[in-house]
Amino acid sequence: MIEVRFGKQLPNLLLDIDFSAPSQGLTALFGRSGSGKTSIVQAIAGGLKPDSGRIAIGDRVFFDKAGGIDLDIHRRNIGYVFQDSRLFPHLTVRNNLLFGYKRAPGEHRFDLGTVVNLLDISSLLDRRPHHLSGGERQRVAIGRALLAQPTLLLMDEPLSSLDPPRKSELLSYIEGVRDELQVPILYISHAFNEVVRLADQLVIVDAGRVVLCGPLMDVASDTTVAPLIGRFDAGSIIECTVATHDNDVELSTLGFSGGQLRVPRVDLAIGTRVRVRIRSRDVAISLSRPMDVSITNRLPGTLLSLTPRDGPYVDAHIDVGGATVRALITRESSGRLGLEPGLKVWALIKTVAFDSRSVGFIRRARSTTSPLE
């Protein structure tokens, strides 16, 4: 169990943090800029000294104000992946990678070969950071942190300085790290799509406080945090299984508890479990099943709730066979249709709304135990 509990007065923010994360899988720390996310990571890594509290991973205590413990940065054994990679310019990629490896005490769980293959950086080993692209640099940075044999991997917005094609490329690699290596990851981001794709647990931070903490599905669909996620990023997350592929029309079918979703072809094996995010702005509501309309995904369900939002909008929660689909529609339309909770409605989602950029397809590893517990 990763325990993070501390207080700290910063120049323009009072931090009052209390959350815990499991010792396996990826926990995302999500919040807007200035919410305090980076300060939390700094406190865990040892770069920021809290005024009070306790930070520990399992029985390794890093900070305990009451007990007078404050481990030095270099003793915390935490792998830190920086937003700006921070590779050492005077060393080759290989020597960058081995920097922490050489200094890690005890048995080395992760070795150079494994990490290099996982991150596809074998061709870069003798180059200097100066000659690498942004994506390559981040992969090396992740490798370097891993080879330091960390008990926790901290990733501080590792994708924010990359352009979109690099971002999704790197996301795949991070998924690989999450699934193949047994090291808990704390992932900081202000981009919700990254969270959706990677996280098992989600911690939402706002104005120096933890607003909500828990499994991704629970937290993401909680109505109170919707404003924090941003009106146009909010949506629902549904767990599906890849059912079929139609190569001639380049579409795939995903099945879930409430029916099927038709999406652009995904490159995953049949039977793979995935998490699909549906942005509420992409969902329309109909009182009956429309027949002569181009929208393919027409899901029958029951209207659960209607919550007014700022502006002309209303946030509707629809129960579709056990899964919740959210729709963002205008108040006017809601009135025109006479919507009220309990009504049988149809959720309409365009296949086009699902694209690799805005929707997260994720691959789930089957391993469930962590040697760290």
Q: Does 186 bind another protein (CB under 8 A)?
A: no
Closest CA relative to residue 299, chosen from 359, 360, 249, 344 = 344
Q: Does 47 bind another protein (CB under 8 A)?
A: yes
Q: Does 313 bind another protein (CB under 8 A)?
A: no
Q: Which of 10, 14, 49, 131 binds another protein (CB under 8 A)?
A: 131
Q: Does 19 bind another protein (CB under 8 A)?
A: no
Q: Smallest distance from the beta carbon of 286 to another protein, in angstroms?
A: 54
Q: List the structure tokens of 213.
A: 């903490």
Handedness of CA 9, 11, 13, 19 (dihedral sign): negative
Q: Does 39 bind another protein (CB under 8 A)?
A: no
Which one of 27-35, 42-50, 56-64, 166-174 is the stretch in contact with another protein (CB under 8 A)? 42-50
| Distance (Å, whole) CA 291 – CA 346 | 12
Q: Which of 103, 265, 336, 344 binds another protein (CB under 8 A)?
A: 103
Closest CA relative to residue 47, chosen from 18, 14, 72, 30 = 72
Which one of 79-87, 162-170, 174-182, 354-362 is the stretch in contact with another protein (CB under 8 A)? 79-87
Q: Which of 25, 31, 100, 208 binds another protein (CB under 8 A)?
A: 100
Residue numbers 285-304 binding another protein by CB under 8 A: none
Q: Smallest distance from the beta carbon of 147 to another protein, in angstroms?
A: 9
Residue numbers 142-171 binding another protein by CB under 8 A: 144-145, 148
Q: Smallest distance from the beta carbon of 89 to another protein, in angstroms?
A: 5
**CA 195 centroid distance within chain:** 2
Q: Does 126 bind another protein (CB under 8 A)?
A: no
Q: Which is nearer to another protein, 90 or 336 (CB)?
A: 90
Q: Does 107 bind another protein (CB under 8 A)?
A: no
| Distance (Å, whole) CA 173 – CA 184 | 15
The alpha carbons of the chain give a radius of gyration, in whole angstroms, of: 22
Q: List the structure tokens of 152.
A: 């926790």
Closest CA relative to residue 224, chosen from 206, 210, 212 = 212
Q: List the structure tokens of 185.
A: 């990851």
| Distance (Å, whole) CA 358 – CA 188 | 18
Q: Does 49 bind another protein (CB under 8 A)?
A: no
Q: Does 104 bind another protein (CB under 8 A)?
A: yes
Q: Does 84 bind another protein (CB under 8 A)?
A: yes
Q: For residue 186, list its beta bridge partners.
A: 27, 154
Which one of 19-27, 86-94, 171-179, 218-226 is the stretch in contact with another protein (CB under 8 A)? 86-94
DSSP-derived 3-state class of residue 208: coil
| Distance (Å, whole) CA 182 – CA 110 | 10
Pairing of strands 26-30, 201-206: parallel
Residues in binding contact with another protein, number by CB under 8 A? 28
Kindly give, in sequence order, each residue whose CB lies less than 8 Å from that of residue 17, ignoring residues fewer than 6 positions away. Answer: 4, 5, 6, 7, 36, 40, 43, 53, 205, 208, 209, 210
Which one of 60-68, 140-148, 243-251, 282-290 is the stretch in contact with another protein (CB under 8 A)? 140-148
Q: Does 106 bind another protein (CB under 8 A)?
A: no
Which residues in this chain contact another protein in the complex, by CB under 8 A?
Answer: 45-47, 72-74, 76-80, 82, 84, 86, 88-90, 99-100, 103-104, 128-131, 144-145, 148
